Structures are given as C-alpha cells and as structure tokens.
Amino acid sequence: MRSHIFTVNAAAQNPAEMFSADGKSLAVGINGTAKGLTLNFVCQQCHRPGGSAATIYSFEQVKSLAAFVHSSPPVKNGYIGSALCIACHSGSNKDIVDAYLDSGHNFALNEVKGIAPVYPSFAPGISQPPGALPWTDILFTVGGYGWKANFVNTSGYILTNGTNKIDSQYNLPDAFLNTVGQFVPYETAVKTSKPFNCSSCHTTGYTAEGNQNGLPGLVGTWSENGVGCEACHGPGEQHLNDPFGVKPAGNPKHACSLCHIRDNSQVLEADNGLILHQQQAEELAASPKYYLTCDACHNAHASAHYDAKAAGTGIITECTACHPGKTVGLGMQFLKCVDCHMPYAVKSGANITYQNGSSTNLKLGDVRSHIFAVYADANSPSDMFATDGLSVATDNTGRAKGLTLNFICISCHRQGGIAATTYTFDQVKTLAGAVHAN
C-alpha cells in the first residue's frame, strides 16, 4: 500500500532512521511531524534485485543521486563531477569505483576543511601542517598519498621556505630508504608568493583562464579538485543525457602522457644524481619498451604504489608474461624483475645520500624508474647522466643509455641496505653478467 507521508528524508543515514528507536513507530521531528520516507522506499524499491529498474543501487548510492531528482546536476563546461559518475557506476562497475577511491588520483588535490585531510587507512597521511600553522590556514594539500605533500594557503599560494620561512614540504615515510615522515625545505630561493599553477594535472576540467574561487594564487579554474573520472574519460554531460548512446569523448589510453611528463619533453630531466619525478611517460618513450602504452601493465583506476593494500589490482601484467623463462643467478632467485629493472632512481619526495665502499657519494630516490634498460658497461655512476648532470644520457638513437649499477645492485648491497653484503661499483660490474647467465 502506498504511504501518504509524502515527505522524503533524504538526509537519513540509513533506513532505520525512518522509525523510532524501538522500531514500533515513525520517527518524528521537533514539530511532531514524521521525519519522512527513507530512500530505500523511495529509490531502492525499483533499484533492487528483481525491481523494475535495470540498475541496482545501494543506500549510499541513492543518497548521492537524490539531490538531482528535482534539479539538474551542477555542470561546468560539460563536466558533471565524479560523485555522479560514481553514483551510477557503483552498481555495474563497483570494482572500478572501489579501486579509484583507493588510488592516488583521488587524492591529487585535497580540500582542507579545518582538520587534517583524510587519506586511506593504508597510507601514512599527514598529521599536521607546516610550522605552527593551524589547519584553518591551509586551503589544499597537494598530494600526500604516497610520496610527499605540499600545502596551499587560503589565498591560493603554495607555502615555501623562501616566503614563509618554514620547512614546507612533507615527505612521507619510506620503508626502502628507511626514512621517517618529516618536513623538509621547499623552494628556499623563492622570495615572492608562489602561485598554485599545478591545476592542469591536479584537477579535473581545468581551464587556464581566471582564478578558482577568485583567489589570486590559484591559476586557472576547474570543475573538480583532484584527478576525477572526467580528467581521463572526458566531460560526462552528454553521456549523462544519453548513457547508452553516447560515451565520454576522452581517450583514457592517451591521458597518462598528458600529465606524467615534465615541461621539457626533449630530455629526461635530472638533478643531483637522480631523475626528477613526473616523467614516467618520457622515461617509457626513452626505454626499449617505447612501443608500449601505460595500460599494457597498469590498471589506471588502481594504485600500483599500494597494490597489496588498496582495492583493485594496479599492476595487471607481470614482466614474465612477455619474458618467460628468465632465470636469476648468483643465488638471487627471489628477486622480482622490477627490483633490478625498475630501481628507485627517481626523486619525488624522500631521497638519501650514501657512500659505497670506495667512498663515492651515491643517491637513492623514492620512485621507480621506467627506463628498464641496464647500462652494465658504464664505468661510473655519473655515466648515466649528461655532462652537466641535468638530464639522462642518451645513445645515438636518442634513447636513454640505461640505469647504472649503483641503482640496481648497490642500492641493496650498501651499508644500511637490505642485502647482507656490501659491494663497490667495480665489484658489481664484474658480477653483473652472471645475473641472467642464460
């Protein structure tokens, strides 16, 4: 029988809130009238197994959609927002949605609302802002999911050591480097306010014109904080209007290379003995695997960094799928391909300097390289880089010469490393040929 209450309690957190605590009467408000019908009766009566609707939704999903029943969703330049994408796709594509919600894309730019931003339980997170600042002085954290975080103030400017006189970058703890989470100097030479001009890759629906929310430090405007669904799939308005007839216009296969690059795409930028981060697409193009696309190995919806802990599977193709039968010698059969062919030669946040047996200062970063090739013939660690040290050395085809053995072997075989033995660069050169003896 149909109810004659009419009012919808869209704010209810669960179906039980429609009733009193003992479940024997309707819940009433302070004016004595019924609080209203909960969404399980309003929406899920159709959107349920065996219901009249084609899609099945959970209570949380219909809560997300309820606001749009009598009004159009907010649309900006054709972008409808990830919340609406998720509300619809959580039914048939729940695995994709769950993986995305646990991924770094979802935490590329995090609005701060007076308290520390919330990251997934498996990520270390950030407990406090730089210096003695309160969270109310912070508008956004930039990143903070896997490697580091920077901070944007309420005027839209990035906090720096040069202007704010505090260590303003937070490097997350790193198990391989054995470093703790800590604030470190950032942009010490900057003497004027640093605008947040990273929005083209840290937001969705970015345009270069104007200033988001009218704040002088925020360069450009955007429809959504973070890398949402439409950042890769394209604006969803037409798809929303005709879900089965129109697909979003973006090409996700090509989306990775729009942001995983640096300003100078002609070289692989480096500094102080490490490759600079955000060059995965350029590294791949300079590698022997230049013909691959990112999705040959990666599930872009899922986290590769926290693959064992986050929802979904970040790495969908193992190296051995294309390279079967490879064996590892020298008693190191336990190693994975990535341990040697994707070493931590890239710096995003944390990095360390150490000395090997010949007292040479060597570096380790916190991000794996995508160059893959091993430069076993290099005579010293510096051979991996150009003479000025500001780019990766290339061969006569324009591709990277490869990763030197300090990153591949000495990164473990060093004082404080995870291997029991320590070696010099010359020693690992003599051993390298026995790693793949077959």
For every residue of 241-283, DSSP letters joined together read HSTTT---S--HHHHHHHHSS-S-TTS-BEETTEEESS-HHHH
Mean pLDDT in residue range 131-148? 97
Residue 300, φ and ψ in degrees, nearest 5: -65, -20
351, two tokens: 């990095």
| 3-class secondary structure, 352 | strand
Q: Using an 8 Å Cβ cutoff, are 174 and 182 in contact? A: no
pLDDT of residue 412: 92
Per-residue model confidence (pLDDT) at position 359: 59
Q: Give the separation between CA 314 and CA 100, rounded to whole angstroms.
A: 10
pLDDT in tens, 74-97: 778 899 999 889 888 887 789 999
How far is Cα of residue 225 from the mean position of the Cα atoms in its chain?
Answer: 13
Per-residue pLDDT at 189 = 95
* Torsion sign across C-alpha atoms 135, 136, 138, 143: positive
Average pLDDT over residues 334-358: 91
Token pair listed for 224 = 């959504």
Q: Name which of 61-65, 80-84, 271-275, 299-303 the model is least confident about.
A: 61-65
Does the pLDDT at position 72 exceed 90? no
Residue 438: is its pLDDT beyond 70? no
The mean of the pLDDT values for the chain is 92
> pLDDT category, 253, cuts 50, 70, 90?
confident
pLDDT above 80 for 70: no
Exposure pattern of 137-152 as b/e (b: 16+ CB <10 Å)? bbbbbbbbbbbbbbbb
Tell me what the mean pLDDT of segment 91-106 comes to.
93
pLDDT, average across residues 116-143: 96
Model confidence over 385-427: pLDDT tens digits? 999 999 999 999 999 999 999 999 999 998 888 888 888 999 9
What would the two tokens of residue 383 be? 């051979």
Distance CA 173, CA 349 (A): 10
Predicted model pTM:
0.84
Answer yes or no: are the C-beta atoms of 207 and 221 closer than 8 Å: yes
Residue 273 pLDDT greater than 90, yes or no: yes
d(Cα 91, Cα 78) in Å, to the nearest integer? Answer: 23
Looking at residue 71, what is its pLDDT?
63
Q: What integer pLDDT is reported at residue 233 of this predicted model? A: 96
Q: Could you tell me if 18 and 26 are in contact, meaning their C-beta atoms sit under 8 angstroms apart?
A: yes
How sure is the predictor about 355, in pLDDT bands with cuts at 50, 70 and 90?
Answer: confident
Share of the chain above pLDDT 90, in %: 75
pLDDT at position 54 over 80: no
Q: Which helix (H) or strand (E) holds 238?
A: helix 237-241
Residue 66 has pLDDT above 70, yes or no: yes
Distance in angstroms (rounded) separating the CA atoms of residues 288 and 284: 8
Looking at the DSSP assignment, which residues form a beta bridge with residue 394? 400
* Highest mean pLDDT of the ranges 71-80, 233-242, 332-341, 361-370: 361-370
Q: Is the pLDDT of residue 433 over 90?
A: no
Residue 115 pLDDT > 80:
yes
CA torsion angle 237 242 244 248 (round to 10): -20
Which of 169-173, 204-208, 359-363, 415-419 is predicted least confidently?
A: 359-363
